C-alpha cells in the first residue's frame, strides 16, 4: 500500500481520526501512524480540512471511561492499510478534483471507524477467537472482552456522528453561522451516503455476511462432532455472495460514497460502485489465499479461518482456481474504470496490488 500514489496523503485521514476520537493516555509510540512512502507524516498544519471531523482531542478521559477511550484508539491506530478510507477519498477526487477532499473526508473517517469496530468484534472469543491482530494483541486481549465490546459499539456509533457532522439544523446554528458547516455537502447527498453506509455495514451487508459465516462455522463444528446435518457443503455461488456482504460491501460503499460526495454523475457513481464491488471480491479471495498459504508473521494473524472451521475460497475452489478468480476480479475492477482517464490510474494500481499483496 505504501507504493500506491494516492491523490491525498494518508496522514490526512490519521489526523482527522485523531481529532475525532477521544484523547487517550496510551503511549505515543503505540498510536503514532507511520509516514507513507512519500514521507507524509501527520501534521495538522498540512491538512486543509482538519476541522472536517468533530474534534474530541482535547477531552482527556480522567473518569471510568479511560479504558474505553484507550481501547478505541488502540483499535483505530493499529497499523491498518486505510484501504477503505483512501478509496473513498480517491473516488471523490476522481470525479470532483482536489476540492472534493473536504467533502469526502468525514465519510472516509466514518468508514474507517466502522472497519475498526468490525475487527474488534471479529477477534472476540465468540467470533474468530483471535489473540493477535496486525502483529500485536487483539483488543480484547489487551483490554478485556467487556471493554473491547464497548469500544466496538462506540466506534460504530461514532462513525455515524462523524458522517453526519457536516449538517447543523438551522435552529441550532448561531446567528453568524451557516446551516451547513462550510456548505461542504448538500444534505440530500449526505443523507444518501448515510443510508448507503448503514446498508453496507448492517444486516444486508457486513453484519449479514458475518452471520452467514458464523452459521456455516457452527454447521462445520457440529458436523465434526458427529451430528447428522445432511448436506452442509458450501457452493461457490453462496461463498461469493457471503464474501460480497461480509467484506465487499464496505469496500464497495467506500468507492460509491466518495463518488456521490465528489459530485459524480450517475454513470460515474455506477462505475466506481462496480469497481468497489470487484475490488472487494479480489481482496477477500486474496485474504483467503493468505489465510491458507501466507506467513503469520507477515499477515499479523495467529488464528486462521480454516482452523476455525470457516469456509474459505481455497476449500471451495482449490488454490489454483482461487488465484485465477482473484486475478479475474482485479481485472474486472480495472475494466470498470474504462470511462475514466489517467485520473483513475491510482485505482488501477490499487486493483492490481490487492490481488498480489502478501499481507
For the segment 2-11, what is each residue's pLDDT rounded down to a tens digit? 788 898 888 8
Q: Among residues 133, 174, 173, which one has the least CA distance to residue 151? A: 133
Q: Please name each of the domains of the chain with its CATH number.
A: 11-223+232-354 (1.10.600.10)
pLDDT at 238 over 60: yes
Q: Please state, in angstroms and rounded to a whole number, the distance separating the CA atoms of residues 20 and 14.
A: 10
Average pLDDT over the chain, rounded to whole? 83
Q: Please state, in angstroms and rounded to a whole number, the distance separating the CA atoms of residues 95 and 103.
A: 12
Lowest pLDDT segment from 150-159, 259-268, 299-308, 333-342:
299-308
In the structure grid, which three cell numbers stand for residue 95, read together? 470525479
Q: φ and ψ at 136, to 5 degrees?
A: -145, 170
Helices and strands, number each (H, E), in the chain? 16, 2
The pTM score is 0.84
pLDDT digits (tens, 9 = 90+) for 74-130: 999 988 889 999 999 999 999 999 889 889 999 999 999 999 999 999 999 999 999
pLDDT at 29 over 90: no
Q: Please state, in angstroms and rounded to a whole number, the distance separating the CA atoms of residues 356 and 353.
A: 5
In the structure grid, which three cell numbers stand for residue 202, read together? 448492517
The confidence band for 180, taking pLDDT boundaries of 50, 70 and 90, is very low
* Centroid of chain to Cα 293: 24
Residue with cell 476480479: 329
Res 151: pLDDT: 98
Q: Taken in order 285, 259, 116, 353, is the CA torsion positive or negative? A: positive
Amino acid at each position: 500500500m505504501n507504493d500506491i500514489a494516492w491523490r491525498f496523503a494518508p496522514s490526512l485521514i490519521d489526523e482527522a481520526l485523531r481529532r475525532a476520537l477521544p484523547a487517550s493516555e496510551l503511549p505515543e509510540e503505540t498510536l503514532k501512524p507511520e509516514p507513507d512512502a512519500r514521507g507524509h507524516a501527520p501534521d495538522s498544519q498540512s491538512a486543509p480540512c482538519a476541522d472536517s471531523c468533530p474534534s474530541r482531542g482535547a477531552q482527556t478521559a480522567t473518569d471510568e471511561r479511560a479504558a474505553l477511550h484507550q481501547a478505541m484508539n488502540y483499535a483505530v491506530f493499529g497499523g491498518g492499510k486505510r484501504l477503505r478510507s483512501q478509496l473513498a477519498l480517491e473516488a471523490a477526487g476522481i470525479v470532483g478534483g482536489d476540492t472534493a477532499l473536504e467533502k469526502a473526508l468525514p465519510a472516509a473517517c466514518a468508514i474507517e471507524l466502522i472497519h475498526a469496530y468490525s475487527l474488534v468484534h471479529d477477534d472476540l472469543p465468540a467470533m474468530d477467537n483471535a489473540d493477535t491482530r496486525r502483529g500485536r494483541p487483539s483488543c480484547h486481549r489487551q483490554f478485556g472482552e467487556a471493554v473491547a465490546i464497548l469500544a466496538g459499539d462506540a466506534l460504530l456509533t461514532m462513525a455515524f456522528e462523524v458522517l453526519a457532522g457536516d449538517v447543523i439544523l438551522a435552529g441550532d446554528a448561531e446567528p453568524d453561522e451557516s446551516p451547513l458547516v462550510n456548505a461542504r455537502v448538500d444534505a440530500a447527498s449526505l443523507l444518501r451516503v448515510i443510508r448507503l453506509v448503514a446498508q453496507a455495514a448492517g444486516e444486508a451487508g457486513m453484519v449479514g455476511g458475518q452471520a452467514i459465516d458464523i452459521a456455516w462455522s457452527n454447521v462445520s463444528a457440529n458436523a465434526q462432532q458427529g451430528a447428522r446435518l445432511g448436506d452442509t457443503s458450501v457452493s461457490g455461488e453462496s461463498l461469493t455472495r457471503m464474501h460480497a456482504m461480509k467484506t465487499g460491501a464496505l469496500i464497495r460503499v467506500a468507492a460509491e460514497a466518495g463518488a456521490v460526495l465528489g459530485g459524480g454523475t450517475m454513470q460515474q457513481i455506477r462505475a466506481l460502485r462496480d469497481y468497489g464491488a470487484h475490488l472487494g471480491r479480489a481482496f477477500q479471495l486474496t485474504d483467503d489465499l493468505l489465510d491458507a498459504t501466507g506467513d503469520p508473521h507477515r499477515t499479523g494473524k495467529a488464528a486462521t479461518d480454516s482452523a476455525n472451521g470457516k469456509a474459505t475460497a481455497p476449500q471451495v475452489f482449490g488454490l489454483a482456481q482461487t488465484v485465477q478468480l482473484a486475478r479475474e476480479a482485479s481485472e474486472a475492477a480495472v475494466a470498470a474504470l474504462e470511462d475514466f482517464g489517467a485520473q483513475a490510474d491510482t485505482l488501477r494500481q490499487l486493483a492490481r496490488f490487492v490481488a498480489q499483496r502478501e499481507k
